[in-house]
Amino acid sequence: MKGFRIFLNRFLTNRLAVAGAFVVMLLFIAAVFAPFIAPYDPQRIDAYHVFSPPSPGHLFGTDELGRDVFSRVLWGTRVSLEVGFAAYGIALFVGIIVGAISGYYGGWVDSTLMRFVDIMLNFPTLFLILAVIAIMEPNIIIIMVVIGITGWMDVARLVRAEFLTLKEREFILAAKAIGAGDLRIISRHMLPNAMAPVFVSATMGVAGAILIESSLSFLGLGVQPPMPSWGNMLASGRDNIGVAWWLSVFPGLAILITVLSYNLVGEGLRDALDPRLWEAGRS
């Protein structure tokens, strides 16, 4: 408990990280309560208000079909967070398993798994995702799975590095001495102590997954209309940039603020969890 208080105090002294956490909390609220906050149905067509500029009736204006952009941005928050957390959840699951096995057993197991990680890292991730999605019919489930299975390598390397350090510690040697099984040692003793850098990676990984989803939707290979996504809203805005600037500005700002906020939280967590950085800042 004392350690958590120290961590919390360190995190709260970082104003940028606190600001990022506040924005992330607002995004969660917007995603959960979008059906109640959104003033209009995001798919409601209104032919009488096509390309209406921002106004009290339509805070972010309307698009080429008269749909309320503010409502669509709110619903796009839900889509982006779903994709971000589900995709990086898959990446965490795969990366933790591969990294734990590689770091704990070492030897030829470690060499084989790390060579596979190196091979995966040599593939351009975005082009690999584009190739897979181009073969399959794009939908939100496919997008989550593909982003997840192409983004686990960094997590695996982080977990492996932590396990290589931990497995020589006294409490792990003591657990082996009393006959604890490999699965128990990995899950009960080593993994909880190896999660700190993974948490930092997770916050930035979610931001990266949101950015990839937006890029795919912008290219027409992600979330498909009429479901609102920040990426396909940007694509619509690109086609009408000369008559309706707000179609590009507001979804673009949503992506910028979301990715920046998650990165700020990740930097704050890294600084708060690393005592060397904390001591360097005080000296």
Whether the per-residue pLDDT at 278 is higher than 80: the answer is no
Whether the per-residue pLDDT at 21 is higher than 90: the answer is yes
**Three-class DSSP labels, the chain:** CHHHHHHHHHHHCCHHHHHHHHHHHHHHHHHHCHHHHCCCCCCCCCHHHCCCCCCCCCCCCECCCCCEHHHHHHHHHHHHHHHHHHHHHHHHHHHHHHHHHHHHHCHHHHHHHHHHHHHHHHCCHHHHHHHHHHHCCCCHHHHHHHHHHCCCHHHHHHHHHHHHHHCCCHHHHHHHHCCCCHHHHHHHHHCHHHCHHHHHHHHHHHHHHHHHHHHHHHCCCCCCCCCCCHHHHHHHHHHCCCCCCHHHHHHHHHHHHHHHHHHHHHHHHHHHHCHHHHHHHHC
Give the side-chain half-sphere CA count within 13 A for 188.
Answer: 10
pLDDT in tens, 225-251: 888 889 889 988 888 888 889 999 999
| Stronger pLDDT, 177 or 56, i.e. the higher one | 56
Residue 258 confidence class, pLDDT cut points 50, 70, 90:
very high
Give the C-alpha separation, 4 to 45, whole Å.
Answer: 50
pTM of the full structure: 0.85
Closest-CA residue to 93 (of 134, 144, 140, 137): 144
Q: Which long-range contacts (CB under 8 A, 24 or more apart) does 34-40 make?
A: 34/74, 34/75, 34/77, 34/78, 37/74, 38/68, 38/70, 38/71, 38/74, 38/75, 39/68, 39/70, 39/71, 40/67, 40/68, 40/71
| Stronger pLDDT, 54 or 141, i.e. the higher one | 54
The residue ranges of every structural domain in the chain are: 2-21+28-282
Whether the per-residue pLDDT at 168 is higher than 50: the answer is yes
Q: Given this model, what pLDDT does residue 93 score? A: 92
| Stronger pLDDT, 168 or 89, i.e. the higher one | 89
Q: What does the block give as tokens for 190?
A: 């080593």
pLDDT above 90: percentage of residues in the chain: 25
pLDDT above 70: percentage of residues in the chain: 95
Q: Are 96 and 159 in contact (CB under 8 A)?
A: yes
| Stronger pLDDT, 270 or 280, i.e. the higher one | 270
Q: Given this model, what pLDDT does residue 275 score? A: 56
- Calculate the average pLDDT of the chain: 85
Q: Given this model, what pLDDT does residue 280 score? A: 45
Q: Are 171 and 248 in contact (CB under 8 A)?
A: no
Contacts of 217 (CB under 8 A, 6+ apart): 223, 229, 230, 231, 232, 234, 235
Whether the per-residue pLDDT at 74 is higher than 90: the answer is yes
pLDDT in tens, 193-207: 888 788 888 888 888
Among 173-177, 229-233, 270-274, which stretch is predicted with the lowest mean pLDDT?
A: 270-274
Whether the per-residue pLDDT at 3 is higher than 80: the answer is no
Q: Stretch 273-282: mean pLDDT, rounded?
A: 53
Q: Given this model, what pLDDT does residue 69 score? A: 92
pLDDT in tens, 26-71: 999 998 898 899 899 988 888 888 889 999 989 999 998 889 999 9
Q: Stretch 99-125: mean pLDDT, rounded?
A: 88
Which residue shows structure tokens 């997590």? 155
**Which superfamily does 2-21+28-282 belong to?**
MetI-like (1.10.3720.10)
Highest average pLDDT, of 14-23, 213-222, 226-235, comes from 14-23
Which residue shows structure tokens 């496919």? 142
Whether the per-residue pLDDT at 1 is higher than 80: the answer is no
Q: What does the block give as tokens for 103?
A: 């770091």
